[in-house]
Amino acid sequence: MIDNEEEYLSMHPNQRKWINECSMCHHRGYKPNILEQLYPYPPTETRNLRCYFKPLALNNEGICEDCDKLLKQKQNKSY
Ligand SMILES: [Zn+2]
């Protein structure tokens, strides 16, 4: 079974460039600043990404905020 997100991306492969994927949990979301980058005329397909994905910010290591927090908790425990 293909989920809606994957189906949308396979129909609009050029939209994949706007998708972030966390390298730890493989959670996907759109890059939070895409609409600003495309302002004032974001293509409809890109605006529709927001129907399928939530914004997902990644840090420099390609890790989402949640995993980043988990990592830091683990690091704190090991001290
Ligand atoms: Zn993650």
Contact 64, 32 (CB under 8 A): no
Ligand 1 center from residue 38 Cα (angstroms): 26
Residues lower than pLDDT 50 in the chain:
none
CA of 35 from ligand 1 middle (Å) equals 22
pLDDT at site 79: 62
Number of domains in the chain: 1
26: left (phi over 0), alpha (psi -120 to 50) or beta: left
Tell me the β-bridge partners of 55.
30
Note down the domain range covering 48. Answer: 4-78
Ligand 1 centroid to residue 57 C-alpha, Å: 10
Let me know the angle formed at the C-alpha of 42 by 35 and 10, rounded to the nearest 5 degrees.
95
**Predicted confidence (pLDDT) per residue in 49-67, tens digit:** 999 999 999 999 999 999 9
Note the pLDDT of residue 35.
84
pLDDT at residue 1, rounded to an integer: 59
pTM attached to this predicted model = 0.84
Query: What is the whole-number distance in angstroms between the Cα of residue 8 and the centre of ligand 1?
Result: 21
* pLDDT given for residue 40 in this prediction: 93
